[in-house]
Amino acid sequence: YLERREERLERLQKEQDRIQTILRRELEWLKRGPKARTGKDSGRKDRIELLLASQNKVGDEAQRSFSSTSRRLGKKILEAKHLSKSYEGNPIIQDFSFSFTKGMKIGVVGPNGSGKSTLLDLLCNQIQPDSGTLDIGVNTVFAYYDQGGRNLESEQTLLAYVEDIATQVVLGPNQIVSASKFLELFGFPVSMHRQSIATLSGGERRRLYLTSRLLSNPNFLLLDEPTNDLDLPTMENLEQYVQDFSGCVLIVSHDRAFLDLTCDELFILDESRPIRYETKRYSQWREETLEEKEESKAPPPSPPLQNRRSEKKGLSYREQKEFAQIETDMETMQEALSHLEESFADAQPTAEGTLAERTEKYHALRENLQTLEDRWLELAQQL
């Protein structure tokens, strides 16, 4: 993703450099004050105007500003005081307190089952804490994108659905776009706008739901795995939207590159410790954490005769079997996730259970998959 983004920006920069080189030469000619007496001279002046227009277009593409004007936040935004939440006697969130301020963009990271989605549910008042209080500012307006509740009217068209939320969006100073154009920015071409929502795939429905959350003009965004169903251009639009968003943002994502590009603060969830707040990007925190783990490892004591064996590289027989099994399990989990995603289109109970039960299974599967992926990477580095 990052490589393709850099390639696109590099191409744009080269095109801009080429245009500027030609423009310098043409503007020097224009400074000499030629009179457009011939068709050739007149055409040359027209060419300069086209080059100037092209330069502006390329510059706009390279320095795109894609942000909605969010509602004004009040002095008080959101304050959590000693929040705790348990399920079946297992503590998930313990004594969490935090005061949010304008412009915070916080990534939520931690091992599977550590309570990342539960934290988002608590903070936007979707579920009630077992103890503690949540003080929400009078001007705070949440938009929560999760992996479950998408109450989309199946008989509505895409355009009717989003226009019920907003007919236009402000993308920046003096730049207003229609709901139709906003749909295009999130991967829905005009040819789809009159389609019924019932015809959409599970992934398209989730993308439409994400679009609707952004259209609702919030000032506090909570996004749980927002990039799962996005292609590269749409992901870049979402990335730019979050970067320019003036309110608060909380993001749970397994897309580490996306977290790095959008969040400069972290909530770190660890089952053995309270939630920690760090003012650093994900890659920096991960690198520091890995270094700390390496430093904490004491060199294994081994007699001189065993030195050669201890230096042997590669996976043991047991690890090779584990590595192969992990790859099989990951593929099985991916298929199960895809099946559940498709089932989200039906709000009625299915063979897999109610929508709430399917959502719970989905989250558990995603967390288990991330654990396997982390272990797979750990073993792959030893090959």
Q: Average pLDDT of 41-67?
A: 53
Residue 229 · residue 207 · CB < 8 Å: yes
- Helix, coil or strand: residue 127: coil
Report the share of the chain in percent with pLDDT over 70.
69
pTM recorded for the entire structure: 0.61
Q: In this structure, what token pair is assigned to residue 90?
A: 């297992």
- Residue 217: its pLDDT value, please? 82
Question: For the chain, which residues make up each domain, given as ranges?
Answer: 2-62, 78-284, 312-383
Q: Average pLDDT of 257-267?
A: 92
Nearest partner of 137 among 103, 102, 94, 95, judged by Cα: 102
pLDDT, the chain, mean? 78
Query: What are 203-229's pLDDT values in tens digits?
Result: 888 889 999 898 888 889 999 999 887
**Listed ranges 26-40, 280-294, 316-330; the one with the highest mean pLDDT:** 316-330
CATH class of 78-284: alpha beta
The DSSP string of 136-184 is E-TT--EEEE-SS-----TTSBHHHHHHTT-SEEEEETTEEEEHHHHHH
- Residue 7: its pLDDT value, please? 60
Residue 248 · residue 103 · CB < 8 Å: yes
Q: How far is CA 24 from the centre of its chain?
A: 41
Higher pLDDT, residue 331 or 106 = 106
Q: Domain spanning 312-383 has what CATH number?
A: 1.10.287
Residue 262 · residue 249 · CB < 8 Å: yes
Give me the helices (H) in the chain, please. Answer: 2-31, 39-62, 116-123, 158-163, 179-185, 202-215, 232-244, 256-262, 282-296, 307-310, 317-343, 355-380
- Residue 18: its pLDDT value, please? 59
Residue with tokens 């654990």: 371
The dihedral sign for the CA sequence 192, 194, 195, 200: positive
- Residue 305: its pLDDT value, please? 47
- Residue 109: its pLDDT value, please? 92
Q: Average pLDDT of 66-95?
A: 79
Is 237 a residue whose pLDDT tops 80?
Answer: yes
Q: Average pLDDT of 147-166?
A: 82
Is 6 a residue whose pLDDT tops 60?
Answer: no
Measured distance CA(170)–CA(255) in Å, rounded: 28
